[in-house]
Amino acid sequence: MKRVLVHGLGSIGRRHLRVIRAADATIELAALSEHGSQLHPGESGVPVFRSMAQAQAFRPEAVVVANAAVGHVESAMAWLRAGAHVLIEKPLAAALDGTADLAALAQVCGHVVQVGYNLRHSPGLQQMRAWCGARRLGRVHSVRAEVGQHLATWRHGADPLRSVSARRALGGGVLLELSHEIDYLQWLLGPVAWVSAHLMCQGGWDIDVEDSALLTLGFAGTDGCVAALQMDFVRHDATRRCTLIGDAGSLQWDALAGRLQARLAGSADWDLLPTEPGGRDATYAAQWAGFVTACAGQGAPAVTLAEGVRVLRVVEAVRHSSMLGGQRVPVEAAP
């Protein structure tokens, strides 16, 4: 990998630049910002193109698509046609429109397309998946998951009400911005078969997206396992936790604390399980390393295009259920 471009210079695009530079200082790195974003002084040395034509003349071998979600599909298709492998930041898109065309193009081109759900590279979450695969909790009856952070603390120095998170036109709202949970729950437990959901605006802000969501998710092929998922932009205690409850005990992952603990049947207390050091940059670094390996033909993408589409199908079902007052909606039947 000699030439890499990051398309988009928001906070996540800057993180990708930092991670890629730390992974391999010999990579010729560039960025594309069509909206005039500038690099900080400490990020100097990376050329910033202002148009797609300029960026394509750079001839990147791989591109990280990190612009607003509403532009992901169009941008990814342009880079595939230009001959680049593509890592698309989560969510894959703001809606399902165009994703079938993207999948067809990817198949014809033969280039790697990976979706950026970096939490799959968390050591605690990976260990949780290994427990599920080995059925160490027996039958998993239910799941409790929660994620939230106050909107004002998401992007320091920026107006939170004008950020991507708060604007429907850019693909904002908790469902898309916090869709990691929908992805990793399906990674742990299999496809979501049905949803029952309520979307709300509880923060009192003048925004056109939901800032809170209460979801009930039913999983196919998991002995009737049901997950309760709470997502919001309103809580001041930033949180990301997941608890699996099974016949043989419970397993709890706290992403922000980097802690995984189990309480098995007969135990008097929770037992802390050893995990490798994590952190947000660590999961992005592992994601990038896996993407490079896949581009070299030595493995499959960690998160496939089909899995990114599956998240969007669940999102559409959630929106439909909320419109129906929380009525149960099968994912495959949602419009």
Q: What is the pLDDT of residue 156?
A: 63
**pTM for the structure as a whole:** 0.94
Give per-residue pLDDT as tens, 28-47. Answer: 999 999 877 777 655 668 99
* 314 close to 331: Cβ distance less than 8 angstroms: yes
Top-confidence residue, 168 or 328: 328
Band the pLDDT of 334: cuts 50, 70, 90.
confident
The mean pLDDT of 279-308, rounded to a whole number, is 95
Give per-residue pLDDT as tens, 205-246. Answer: 888 899 999 999 999 976 789 999 999 999 999 999 999 999
- Domains, the chain, in order of start with CATH, read 3-118+286-303 (3.40.50.720), 119-276+311-333 (3.30.360.10)
Which stretches within 248-304 are classed as H helix? 280-295
* 273 close to 56: Cβ distance less than 8 angstroms: no
Give per-residue pLDDT as tens, 109-164. Answer: 999 999 999 999 999 999 999 999 999 999 999 999 999 999 988 766 677 777 88
DSSP lists the bridge partners of residue 263 as: 250
